[in-house]
Amino acid sequence: MLVDPSLNVKGSLFNADLPFELSAVQKQASEWILRYGFDHSLLVDAVCGAGKTEMMVPFVEAALQKGLKVGWMIARRQVVIQLKERLQTIFPEMKVIGVCQGYTTDLVGDLVLCTAHQLYRFPNYFDVLIIDEPDAFPYVNNPLLEGLAKASCHGHFIYLTATPTPDLLSTVDKTITVHRRPHFRDLVVPEVRYMPGWLMRFWLAFLIRKQPGPWLIFVPSIRLAQQLARFLNCDVITSKTENSERIIQRFSNQLSQTLVSTTILERGVTFDEVSVVVFMASSSTFTDAALIQMNGRVGRSFNREKGVCYFLCDRKSIIVDQTIAKIVGHNQAVSYVSEN
């Protein structure tokens, strides 16, 4: 089923109901998004936990009041479902729809969220398309999905990510960079531990027993995820997990204290006061973008600072060193927000 691009949308005075006031940095970034987003291809390069969704709310509000059709493309199905709930709460009078596997019967709404694969249902439909995490799998380096995005939008694109690729940086008209989270604390800098691979699981088991969770453990492969989950006697999330939504909800509600995951949970999810361990962080499977995103799950709570991040390595890694240098660079930035 495809949506007719000639479908008219009347401007509506939807009022956003944010659960908190935007910080000074978020307000400045939001003002720049409003200034440039209607006429330029725009990149919002904001650190993990900066509140990219909340910074986009005034723009979405203004775009819908102008009668524009707004789409929000998200790389992964779980995040579509989670973000739909958040935005429906922020815009209680608006019809927010999420289009992804298992949710494809309702395609018409005031705001459309969807995975990249579902964009074919909206040919030449959107006036503005927000692309969340364009550097994430499966969208990044995928000409088919990039083509679907271009075919679905006859207007401008706004890209949101904490880890933009060099290609993306070179193609947009404007970039807004946000170096700080709303609570203004420094990003958590990972602690690197070097040890033989066989020792890591015992070190990790001792750490979990010594320091209460919640603990989110990232691993580089599905096989290792399953093995480590059995060793730790905990839940596991991979692309092959069938009951992933229930497992994520259990962990989010702190009904389970340890969760092993592949990179499938590196982006787009928030768990209160979580700590992170990247198991075999020196693996060639992990890029610096992936490591930055995993570390970015930590320290997001606004109320108090809690959570640590460990990178467990069996050897020195240039990627690990580059990751830490980038995180430290954000912490040392003179300006909290800038545009160029």
- Model confidence over 44-66: pLDDT tens digits? 999 999 999 999 999 999 999 99
67 backbone φψ class: left, alpha, beta (φ>0; ψ -120 to 50):
left
Q: Give the closest residue to 235 by CA, choosing from 211, 271, 253, 259.
A: 259
**164 shares a domain with 80:** yes
**152 shares a domain with 207:** no
**105 shares a domain with 207:** no
**257 shares a domain with 232:** yes
Give the residue from 143, 178, 213 where a domain finishes. 178
**292 shares a domain with 150:** no
The domain that holds 320 is classified in CATH as 3.40.50.300
Give the residue from 150, 178, 206 where a domain finishes. 178
Which pLDDT does position 6 carry in this prediction?
A: 60
Which pLDDT does position 182 carry in this prediction?
A: 87
Q: How far apart are the first and last CA of the chain?
A: 41
**200 shares a domain with 174:** no
Domain annotation covers residue 129: yes
Q: State which residues of the chain have pLDDT below 70.
A: 1-2, 4-13, 303-305
Domain annotation covers residue 1: no
* Residue 322 exposed, middle or buried by CB count within 10 Å (0-12, 13-18, 19+): middle
Alpha-carbon distance of 101 to 82, in angstroms, equals 14
Domain annotation covers residue 339: no
Which pLDDT does position 13 carry in this prediction?
A: 64
**157 shares a domain with 114:** yes
Domain annotation covers residue 183: no
**295 shares a domain with 161:** no
CB distance 260 to 236 below 8 Å: yes
Alpha-carbon distance of 305 to 298, in angstroms, equals 9
**270 shares a domain with 198:** yes
> What is the residue range of 127's domain?
24-178
CB distance 307 to 273 below 8 Å: yes
Domain count, the chain: 2
**28 shares a domain with 174:** yes
Q: Give the closest residue to 251 by CA, choosing from 236, 264, 241, 231.
A: 236
Domain annotation covers residue 107: yes
Domain annotation covers residue 338: no
Structure tokens at 340: 């160029």
The distance of Cα 166 from the centroid of its chain, to the nearest Å, equals 19
**238 shares a domain with 165:** no
Give the residue from 126, 145, 178 where a domain finishes. 178
**197 shares a domain with 141:** no
Q: Is 90 helix (H, G, I), strand (E, B) or coil?
A: helix
Domain annotation covers residue 11: no
Q: Model confidence over 292-340: pLDDT tens digits?
A: 999 999 988 776 667 899 999 999 999 999 999 999 999 999 888 888 8
Q: Can you list the alpha helix ranges (DSSP code H) found in 70-190?
A: 77-90, 143-152, 166-171
Put the strands of the sheet holding 126-132 in their side by side order.
96-99, 111-115, 70-74, 126-132, 153-161, 42-46, 174-178, 337-339
Domain annotation covers residue 14: no
